[in-house]
Structure 1
Amino acid sequence: MKEIRLQERTKTNGSLLRVGDLAQRAGRTVRTIHYYEELGLITPTGHTSGGFRLYDENTLNRIRSIEMFQEMGMSLAHIQSLTKIWNGSPTGLEASKKLIPILRDWLSQTESLLERLTTVKDELEHTIEQIESCQPCSVKPDKWVCHECIQNIEAHPVSALIEFVISSK
């Protein structure tokens, strides 16, 4: 690794960051940053004369990408395998032949999740609309009264969530 002195660059505008500063900006712990490094997901840009690791803005962006992939359900091992495929392939053709099926599968899973989330979102919107009709009601909630009332007011079937809640007694 090349040695870069901290005095050469400041902590702003394209600067190099020590591991603690990087961890703070990324919202991660220093241990997590070191773990990402152990997995080969990030690498320091250099070191200070005292041996402290230094990272650039690209590393911060990589950490944010890792966070996004994890939020989408991808494990660190899976992320690591993608980088190993890319880095271990002798040609772009070889890398693409291996990566495209994996990414297509991930896309399919994401589309399926989006469909399920859209269904949940629609159900919640429908439930909110139906429950809003209860605001002027002065009657104690009861599964028979509420079921009939909501169904009559909305002229739609009672939402599954309301059905669950009012039939829980």
Structure 2
Amino acid sequence: MDDRMRIGDLTERAGVTPRTVRYYESIGLIPPGEREGHGQHYYTEETLARLQKIDQLKKLGLSLDEIHDVIDLYFIDPSGIQPKQKVLAILRQHLAEVDQKIGALQQFRADVQFHIERFERWLEERE
């Protein structure tokens, strides 16, 4: 059975645009389609699986650079252990960054609240 498909079939099944496919090819997230005949590109089921995995990883909050670092592991490690360990490390880093941003925002909020109260006290003294 021939598992090759044209870009239109691929994009429809993956829920992406042809532009996305071409972009992902250009940055190495998916392999380029095989040219045949009149310049048509053909893609495999593995390319479809890669596009689906990319979508899942994007939904976890990974950037395309981070996905680039992990995507191949999903297709060379049948156990799934290595890619999940790498994604877990990335997610832990994201959590640390979020916690740091929350801390900075809490400090900023406290500073703003302090200044509000200071201005209110100053205005009340003048009334």
Aligned residue pairs, count: 87
Mapped contact 1:14–1:57 kept (Cα < 8 A):
no
Following superposition, which runs of at least 4 residues in structure 1 exceed 6 angstroms of deviation?
none
The counterpart of 2:49, out of the listed 61, 64, 67, is 61
Matched residues in 2 for 1:25 and 1:102: separation? 27
* 2:6 aligned with 1:15: no
Unaligned runs of 5+ in 1: 1-12, 87-95, 113-169
TM-score by structure 2 length? 0.56
Matched residues in 2 for 1:51 and 1:63: separation? 22
What RMSD, in angstroms, separates the aligned Cα atoms of the two structures?
Answer: 2.9
* 2:94 aligned with 1:106: no
Matched residues in 1 for 2:59 and 2:71: separation? 18
Structure 1 position 34, deviation (Å): 0.5
* 2:65 aligned with 1:77: yes
The counterpart of 1:39, out of the listed 27, 34, 43, is 27
Structure 1 position 75, deviation (Å): 0.8
Structure 1 position 49, deviation (Å): 1.1
- Report SS of the residue matched to 1:21: helix
Mapped contact 1:70–1:76 kept (Cα < 8 A):
yes
Q: Which has the higher contact order (CA 8 A, sep 6+)?
A: 2
The counterpart of 2:40, out of the listed 37, 40, 52, is 52
C-alpha distance 55-100 of structure 1, shift in aligned 2 (>3 A): closer
Larger Rg: 1
**What's 1:118 paired with?**
none
C-alpha distance 15-103 of structure 1, shift in aligned 2 (>3 A): closer
1:78-111: per-residue Cα shift (whole Å, max 9, x none)? 1123458x7xxxxxxxxx8xx898544235368x
Structure 1 position 61, deviation (Å): 0.4
Matched residues in 1 for 2:16 and 2:84: separation? 30
Matched residues in 1 for 2:42 and 2:17: separation? 15
1:6-44: per-residue Cα shift (whole Å, max 9, x none)? xxxxxxx55211111101110100000101101101113
Matched residues in 2 for 1:102 and 1:80: separation? 12
Unaligned runs of 5+ in 2: 74-81, 96-127
